[in-house]
């Protein structure tokens, strides 16, 4: 009761994922991850309807490969038949590509774990900082609220900083498609500054170009102010609007002019865009180590929580090992997944 993706079922696959899963399970995401191959499995119920899907990215190496299903599989995890069907399809792909393991990190909680375990997956016993995806996201549930109702849930000093940004002449522009590519160099310059300031590696500009062209729901937000008579980029963000969820994926800001509060106005602009487009959730992205205020990453949580959302906890990262000896020797692949 499973099948693989083909030209006849691709639209049906995408429709299912767009109403049940993350943009990283969209077929368009495979175009962003250009240095990977991809395959997808579809499970059908007795009526012939799709009951679950899973796209796996495949990183090849000599004589073996690694499969990774970002935020997949996508299904109702109480439907053990669907989970089993998908697992069997992944097993077949593992055989085809000589995979030593299949890694996944679905958007599920603890109660969904039995189906995954019965399908042969085990939770990865590794530290949070080494997981491919953060198991904690900060989300703001919109659920039909007006902009005024959502803004009322912000901390009062956040509302004041949004107003101060506007009074100091900051404005936000939104770019799509070719226009986003034209504005990308300014964003990437801010991204380089942010990476150096916060001490994390950044992807090449070509990655962001693929992101902004391959994903139809992607947008580039940029905040500017006139400094000394020159239009100056102060902050930027790459976002995706997919399946009722507006996701803030990458953010960057200038090392200067922080007293202009551009990041506050930018978040408010993106949240309003999510509301206006009818999204149910605004996803601020990961908040690693949010329970430990001694960690440097805690700053992300401290900033995001002022917008009145909540932490969404996921069950974590899982794996199915096909070739144990190769898996033990393949630590290099873990870094390649990030």
pLDDT in tens, 280-296: 999 999 999 999 999 99
Residues with Cβ within 8 Å of 172's Cβ and at least 6 positions away in sequence, in order, are 221, 222, 223, 224, 265, 266, 269
The fold adopted by the segment(s) 137-313 is Aminopeptidase (3.40.630)
Distance CA 155, CA 309 (A): 11
Q: Starting at the earlier edge strand, list the strands of the sheet with 281-286.
A: 171-175, 218-227, 230-242, 245-253, 281-286, 136-141, 310-313
Topology agreement, domain 2-133+315-337 and domain 137-313: yes
In sequence order, the β-bridge partners of residue 227 are 230
CA–CA distance, 271 with 273 (Å, rounded to integer): 5
CA distance 113 to 132: 19
Contacts (Cβ under 8 Å, ≥6 apart) of 64: 98, 99, 100, 323, 326, 330
Q: How confident is the model at residue 135 (pLDDT cuts 50, 70, 90)?
A: very high
Average pLDDT, the chain: 94
**CB neighbours of 324 closer than 8 A, spacing ≥ 6?**
none
> C-alpha angle with apex 203: 53 to 248, nearest 5 degrees?
60
For the chain, domain boundaries: 2-133+315-337, 137-313
* Integer Cα distance of 53 and 89 in angstroms: 10
Q: Judge contact between 225 and 163, C-beta under 8 A.
A: no
Which residue is listed with tokens 């803030």? 248
Mean pLDDT of the region 266-274: 98
pLDDT at 22 over 60: yes
Helix ranges, the chain (H): 10-20, 27-32, 80-97, 113-118, 147-152, 156-167, 177-198, 205-214, 262-276, 298-305, 324-328, 331-337
Predicted local confidence at residue 223, as pLDDT: 98
CATH class of the domain comprising 2-133+315-337: alpha beta
Read off the tokens for 20: 């049940």
Position 331 confidence tier, pLDDT thresholds 50, 70, 90: low
pLDDT tens digits, one per residue of 88-121? 999 999 999 999 999 999 999 888 889 999 999 9
């Amino acid at each position: 009761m499973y099948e693989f993706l083909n030209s006849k079922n691709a639209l049906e696959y995408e429709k299912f994922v767009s109403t049940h899963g993350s943009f990283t399970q969209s077929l368009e995401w495979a175009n962003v991850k250009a240095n990977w191959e991809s395959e997808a499995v579809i499970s059908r119920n007795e009526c012939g309807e799709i009951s679950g899907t899973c796209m796996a990215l495949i990183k090849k190496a000599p004589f073996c490969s690694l499969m990774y299903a970002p935020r997949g599989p996508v299904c109702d995890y109480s439907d053990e038949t669907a989970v089993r069907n998908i697992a069997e399809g992944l097993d077949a792909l593992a055989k085809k590509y000589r995979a030593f393991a299949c890694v996944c990190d679905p958007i599920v909680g603890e109660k969904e774990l039995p189906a995954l375990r019965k399908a042969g997956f085990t939770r990865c016993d590794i530290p949070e900082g080494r997981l491919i995806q953060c198991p904690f996201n900060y989300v703001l549930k919109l659920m039909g609220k007006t902009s005024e109702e959502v803004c009322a849930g912000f901390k009062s000093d956040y509302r004041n900083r949004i107003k101060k940004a506007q009074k100091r002449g900051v404005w936000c522009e939104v770019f799509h498609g070719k226009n986003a590519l034209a504005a990308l160099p300014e964003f990437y310059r801010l991204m380089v500054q942010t990476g150096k300031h916060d001490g994390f590696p950044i992807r090449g500009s070509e990655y962001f170009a693929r992101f902004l062209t391959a994903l139809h729901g992607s947008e580039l937000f940029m905040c500017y102010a006139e400094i000394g008579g020159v239009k100056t980029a102060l902050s930027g963000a790459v976002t995706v609007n997919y399946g009722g969820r507006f996701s803030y994926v990458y953010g960057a800001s200038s090392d200067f002019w922080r007293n202009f509060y551009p990041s506050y106005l930018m978040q408010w602009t993106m949240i309003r865009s999510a509301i206006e487009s009818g999204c149910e959730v605004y996803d601020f992205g990961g908040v690693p180590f949010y329970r430990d205020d001694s960690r440097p990453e805690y700053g992300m949580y401290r900033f995001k929580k002022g917008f009145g959302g909540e932490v969404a906890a996921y069950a974590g990262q899982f794996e199915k090992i096909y070739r144990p000896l190769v898996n033990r020797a393949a630590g290099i692949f873990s870094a390649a997944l990030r």
